Structure formats: structure tokens, C-alpha cells
A and B are shown apart, each in its own frame.
Chain A
Amino acid sequence: MDAWALLLAATLNAGTLVALAALGLLINERAGVVNLGAEGMMLMAAIAGFAATAYSGSDVVGLLAGMGAGALMALALGWLVVMLNTNQYATGLALSLFGAGCSAFVGQGYTQVTLGPRPSYAVPGLSELPWIGPALFRQHPLVYLTVALAAALTWWLTRSRAGLVLRAVGESPEAAHALGYPVRRIRLLAVVAGGALCGLAGAYCSVVYTPLWVEGMIAGKGWIALALTSFATWRPARVLLGAYLFGGVTMLQFHLQGQGVQVASQFLSMLPYLATILVLVLISRNESFIRANMPASLGKPFHPGS
């Protein structure tokens, strides 16, 4: 089988993981809430999903458990940030630190556990195509669902009334409030929905992508997803593109390590992080461009009655 086809397949797989989280964070940020807790939510979801799959033997149960864990963590953040107006940065950091510690604690007994034989997936017919089949059509269903999700989210944000309200809450909570929309409830819902998606990404990592549990296994992907939302100027389609780009860099690095390139593996492992910094620099260079695209009330608390 062609190595490049496999590389492409792995890229889509890795990209999906970050894309799911970044789409969740995009929903948060479109509603005006920055969630620096993504890394912690993903870690908690990773162990919750892994444990659930280990017990039930079902991937779907694991992924749902991950979504639940992510949503629950996000609810804690949302309650503090939206209802009590705590600082979004500090609260998100607290969530990340708590998630890192708590997942390591809970996951202590799972480091030696392996999940049963992994099911393989194939789109009937298409997966038999030469080259294209193994490259594109032998993926976990979530890979395709993520593409659909990005498309649906684009439509929802730009074409639906509810999406418009969500954006209004993120751009000008005062105006949305004056129109009678429950700004804080909408923000809280957005945070929880975003958390569920981050949770799905975390569980995907431990149940499908890796699949095992290692302490700190998210390894910065939550933070990279945060970087992706601004790279994508808060647009779902560009999030997808950025995520696949990131997946490509990650996989290329593994590929190069496998090829025995004369560079220490640690330098290759740095690539995803350095690429993220590079992307941040490139996108942020033009400050007014970012400002024009960023939800106007991003990171600012809203207190009704003010």
C-alpha cells in the first residue's frame, strides 16, 4: 500500500481530533467566552471515555462519556465565568490545572489497561478504490461527521436565527440583552456545548486515535485548538483546514522519524508546537485584520443591569 495514502489517512485522523475541540471552542468564542480550560476538559474526557470503553466494551459509550465529562467541566467553568463574572483567563487556567491533576489521579489504575480489538471501518465500495480508498474511506465515522459538523456549524452561524442570536451575544451582549435575549443563559449553553465537543475530542484521542490512556496524553492539543480558532478567524471551514494542516505536520513528523531522518526525534516532536507559534505569528501580524474578525466582546464579562 502506498505510504502517502496512509500518511493522508493519518493526517485526517489527527486533524479530526483537533478540529472537534477547535469547533467546540469556536462556539464558545462566538458567544464571547474564552475557555482556556480546553486542555483540562480534554484530559478529563480522555480518561472518562477510556474508562467507559474499558468497562462497556463500546466505543460509542466511551465517546458519550467523554462528551459528558467535557460538558460537566465546562458547566463548572461557565457557572463561574458567566454567572459569577470571574476572570475568564484565570478560571480557564484553573480548569486546565484541575483537569491535568484529576485525570492523572483518576487514571492511575488505567495505565496498563488495553482496549479490546479495535474495529476497523470502511465505507462500502469507496474504500476499495485504489489509493483513494485507503487514504480517505477507511476512517472512523467521526472523521466524516466532523466535516459535516463544520458545514452544519457554518450554516447555523450564518443562516439560522439561533446562530445569529449566538453571534449577537458574542458581538454585543448589551444589544442582545436589550432585545430581550437571555445573554447569560445563552453563553452558558454555548460553553457547555463547546465543552461537550472538547470532551468528544478528548475521548476520541484515548478511545480511537491512540487508543490507550497515558498521563497528560493530550500534550497541548487543547491549547493548539485554542490557537486554531484565531488562526481560522472564527470560521468553521477554516478551523477544519487548519486542523488538517496541523494533523499533517504531526504525521509528517512521525513519518520522518520512521524514515530514520538524521534529526533527533525530539526536534521533530517540537514541530507541531513550533508550527502553532508560526501560525499565530502569521495570523496575528495584521492586528486590525484579527480585530475585525474577532467576536467584539470576547473575554469580557456581561452583567445584566449594567
Chain B
Amino acid sequence: MFKLEARARPSRWISLASPLLALLITTLIGMVLFASLGKDPVQGLRMFFWEPLRNAYAWGELGLKATPMILIALGLAVAFRANVWNIGAEGQFVVGALAAGWVAMQAGPETGRWIVVPILVAGTVGGLAWAGVTAWLRDRFHANEILVSLMLVYVAELLLQYLVYGPWKDPAGYNFPQTITFLPATHVPRLFPGTRLHIGVWIALAAVVGVWWLLFRSMAGFAWQVGGLAPAAARYAGFSSRRALWGALALSGGLAGLAGALEVAGPLGQLTPYVPMGYGFAAIIVAFVGRLHPVGIVLSGLLMSMFYIGGELAQSRLGLPKAITGVFQGLLLFSLLACDTLVHYRVRRVRHGHRPAAEPASPPAAAPIHSGQEVR
């Protein structure tokens, strides 16, 4: 029989190895899944892990899809560390896209390239405001932020549908639910010829540095994280939990909105009902798999992007439903959480009839992802 035994302190080594182990488990399950569907598992793996890296264009697509997820996940990592459970990033992404799209539609033939700046600012403010609703209801009325932020995702998606089916519909668009195609001046500048990569990559990398600084070098970031790990200690230290709530939601909402703006002013170029691509939900997985650490998030964001591209390729080349991406995303997070048990516990073999010596008292203070936080 096996028994879990609390470690004296969380294993740093396993904490880094756990995402890799989770990826391995997910891959193995994936191969079994491919085989059971009558597809060649090796061929399936190629779609996910080789094709997205095959040439410069493929790398560009990889970065293009990773950018919004990295941006959103960076904000979520700060929020989750502060024990603020913003799971409505998808809605903040959509509202950011709406705000950015509105600015982009104001551009005329004589508008200069400067319009890109207000577009991105509008997106950020839009996402921030949408997350602000959650923050306000939580702060003022103690309404659970998980449920409120999630309900607002549905509201945001319906708002988008209203606008593209109604007042914002392109009059010359043959009645399709879509806005006008935004003028070239509104497009965010591309980086390399031959790829669709745009300056969002630099913005995301700047955000990585910024969030790293916030989390590990700034007083505010420190105070928020203390509030997440030990609310009583934070209160004793005089750290405001309200400020942490507002800060975490503003940052995660703002970054999600910015990601939305980069999407509409980047690869999309107009608003359609298909703006919500699930990036906001995928970013939750990206944040956890990246250990809520900015550098880890870059790696896991690229991995999740491979899942997206692999899913599309599996659809077009192997005739599998694209939804397979979602299966793998969920499996990855699941196996990660299971593997993370090994960070705090070691597996000990117990011989039958032999009781081990007294167990160590309580599991040690845990990282945010693995601790038992208080509800609401």
C-alpha cells in the first residue's frame, strides 16, 4: 500500500518538473486517444509538436496565438496569487475587443498610424472596466468574484452579438453579422514580412518583465501575495485587502482587454461573433501550468498555442474535431494538479500491518495553487 506523507517543505525541484510530467501524461493519453480513434498516434503527435515548429511561418503563427494567452495569463497569475479568482477573462477580452473595435471604426481615410495607440488604450480600458464591475460588486457587496466574473462573460458575448447583428453591422456586408473591415491604418504594425506576428509580441514580453517586477520587486505585489497566502498576516501588517482586490482585477482585466484589442486590430481586422476564441479560459490553464510565474507563463503559453494549432491541423488533415484542443487543455490541467501533489507530499510504501512513525504534523505552508483558501 502507498501512503502520502507531507514533506517538511515543498519540493522546488518537483514543482518545476510537475508541468513536464503533466505534459507527458497528457501526451500519452492523447496517443491512446488517437489510436482508439483509428488514427496513427505518431501522426497525431506530429500535428501538435512538430508541425507548429516546422518553418518560420509556423513559428509566426505559434507566437501569434501565444501572445493573447500570455498577456491574459500574466494578469491572472497576479490575481490568483492574490487569491482573487477572476475567471471571467474571456469577457474582459471581448469587451476590450469591442472598445478597440469602436475606436478602429472611427478611423477615416486620412487617419494616421497614431490611431493604433488609442485603439490599444481603449481595449485596455474596456477590459479594465469590465473587471471593475466584478471588483466593485465584490468590494461593495461581497458578491463572489468567481460567479460574477463568469456571468459577465455571457453578458459580454451577448453584447458583442447585439452589436454585430445590430447597430455595428456592416451595411455593405451582405447582412453577415460583422462590422466593416477596419482600415489598414488601424492595424497593429507587423514585425517580419511573411509572418502575421505583430508588435503584440513586444508588448507581451514587456508585460512579462513588468509582472515579474511587480510580483518580486515591488511592495504592492508583495502585499497582494501576502494577502493571498495568509490573509490574517496581511491584515496584521496593514496591507489593504481591498487594494489587492482592485489591483488584481484591474491588472488582469486590463491585460485581457489589451489582448482583445490586439486581436481585433491584428489578425481579425473586424468584429464578428467569433471574437471569443476561448483564450480567456485557456489562459487560466496557461497561468497554472506556468506556475503563476511570468517566465513559466511564456513557456506554457507557447505550449497552449501548439495545442490550438495542433487541433486545427488535426481537423484539416486527420479529420478529427477541433474540439480535441479543449480535451487536451483540460487533461493537462488535471494531470498538473494531480502531479502537484508530489510537491507537497512524498509517496511512501507502507508494508502491510506495519504502521509508520507518527506523521508530521500539518502539511507545510503551501503555494497558492495548492493551499486551502478560504471561500469568499
- Are A and B a genuine interacting pair, yes or no? yes
Which 4 pairs, one residue from A and one from B, show the smallest C-beta to C-beta distance? A101-B326, A98-B330, A104-B323, A299-B375
B152, A277: Cβ atoms closer than 8 Å? yes
Question: Does chain B have a CB within 8 A of A284?
Answer: yes
Cβ contacts under 8 Å, B328 to chain A: 101
8 new A-B pairs (CB below 8 Å) besides A97-B326, A97-B330, A277-B148? A94-B330, A105-B327, A108-B321, A224-B151, A274-B155, A284-B141, A284-B144, A303-B362
Chain A residue total in the interface (Cβ 8 A): 56
Nearest Cβ on chain B to A90's Cβ, whole angstroms: 6
Chain A 133-192 residues near chain B, CB threshold 8 A: none
Nearest Cβ on chain B to A248's Cβ, whole angstroms: 18
The 12 sampled A-B contact pairs (Cβ below 8 Å) are: A80-B334, A84-B4, A85-B344, A90-B333, A223-B151, A273-B152, A280-B143, A281-B137, A281-B141, A284-B144, A299-B372, A306-B361
B146, A89: Cβ atoms closer than 8 Å? yes
Nearest Cβ on chain A to B156's Cβ, whole angstroms: 10
Query: Smallest CB-CB separation from A39: which chain B residue?
Result: B150
Query: Smallest CB-CB separation from B147: which chain A residue?
Result: A227
A86, B323: Cβ atoms closer than 8 Å? no
Given the known A-B contacts A98-B330, A280-B147, are A294 and B375 also in contact in the complex, defined by CB atoms under 8 Å?
A: yes
Query: Smallest CB-CB separation from A83: which chain B residue?
Result: B4
Per-residue B-contact encoding for A58-94, CB less than 8 Å = 1, 0 else: 0000000000000000001000100011111111011
- Bound together, the chains give a CA A201 to CA B371 distance in angstroms of 31
A99, B330: Cβ atoms closer than 8 Å? yes
B87, A93: Cβ atoms closer than 8 Å? yes
Cβ contacts under 8 Å, B338 to chain A: 80, 84, 86
A267, B158: Cβ atoms closer than 8 Å? yes
Chain B residue total in the interface (Cβ 8 A): 57
Chain B 296-349 residues near chain A, CB threshold 8 A: 321, 323-331, 333-334, 337-338, 340-341, 344-345
Question: Does chain A have a CB within 8 A of B359?
Answer: yes
- Bound together, the chains give a CA A142 to CA B146 distance in angstroms of 30
B152, A287: Cβ atoms closer than 8 Å? no
Cβ contacts under 8 Å, B182 to chain A: none
Query: Smallest CB-CB separation from A77: which chain B residue?
Result: B334
Per-residue B-contact encoding for A252-268, CB less than 8 Å = 1, 0 else: 00000000000010110
B154, A284: Cβ atoms closer than 8 Å? no
**Interface residue ranges, B against A (CB under 8 Å):** 4, 6, 85, 87, 137, 141-144, 146-148, 150-152, 154-155, 158-159, 161-162, 165-166, 281, 284-285, 288, 321, 323-331, 333-334, 337-338, 340-341, 344-345, 359, 361-363, 369-376
Cβ contacts under 8 Å, A303 to chain B: 6, 362-363
B363, A306: Cβ atoms closer than 8 Å? yes
Partner among B147, B327, B340, B361 whose Cβ is within 8 Å of the Cβ of A226: B147
- Bound together, the chains give a CA A276 to CA B288 distance in angstroms of 28
A89, B85: Cβ atoms closer than 8 Å? yes
Q: Which of B324, B325, B330, B362 has the most CB of A within 10 A?
A: B330
Nearest Cβ on chain B to A81's Cβ, whole angstroms: 9
B334, A276: Cβ atoms closer than 8 Å? no
Query: Smallest CB-CB separation from B137: which chain A residue?
Result: A281
Given the known A-B contacts A105-B321, A281-B141, are A266 and B362 also in contact in the complex, defined by CB atoms under 8 Å?
A: no
Given the known A-B contacts A84-B4, A227-B147, are A270 and B369 also in contact in the complex, defined by CB atoms under 8 Å?
A: no
- Bound together, the chains give a CA A101 to CA B331 distance in angstroms of 10
A266, B159: Cβ atoms closer than 8 Å? yes
Cβ contacts under 8 Å, A285 to chain B: 141-142
**Interface residue ranges, A against B (CB under 8 Å):** 34, 36, 40, 76, 80, 84-91, 93-95, 97-102, 104-105, 108, 215, 219-220, 223-224, 226-227, 230, 264, 266-267, 269-270, 273-274, 276-277, 280-281, 284-285, 287, 290, 294, 298-301, 303, 305-306
B330, A102: Cβ atoms closer than 8 Å? yes
- Bound together, the chains give a CA A227 to CA B333 distance in angstroms of 24
Query: Smallest CB-CB separation from A94: which chain B residue?
Result: B333
B162, A264: Cβ atoms closer than 8 Å? yes
Given the known A-B contacts A84-B4, A91-B337, are A305 and B151 also in contact in the complex, defined by CB atoms under 8 Å?
A: no
B154, A94: Cβ atoms closer than 8 Å? no
Cβ contacts under 8 Å, A281 to chain B: 137, 141, 143
B154, A270: Cβ atoms closer than 8 Å? yes
Cβ contacts under 8 Å, A219 to chain B: 154
Cβ contacts under 8 Å, A108 to chain B: 321, 323
B369, A87: Cβ atoms closer than 8 Å? yes
- Bound together, the chains give a CA A290 to CA B143 distance in angstroms of 11
- Bound together, the chains give a CA A88 to CA B85 distance in angstroms of 12
Nearest Cβ on chain B to A69's Cβ, whole angstroms: 15
Query: Smallest CB-CB separation from B83: which chain A residue?
Result: A89
B162, A280: Cβ atoms closer than 8 Å? no
Partner among A87, A90, A100, A287 whose Cβ is within 8 Å of the Cβ of B326: A100
A87, B337: Cβ atoms closer than 8 Å? yes
- Bound together, the chains give a CA A266 to CA B148 distance in angstroms of 19
Cβ contacts under 8 Å, A277 to chain B: 137, 143, 147-148, 151-152
- Bound together, the chains give a CA A87 to CA B6 distance in angstroms of 16
Partner among A80, A90, A276 whose Cβ is within 8 Å of the Cβ of B369: A90
- Bound together, the chains give a CA A306 to CA B366 distance in angstroms of 14
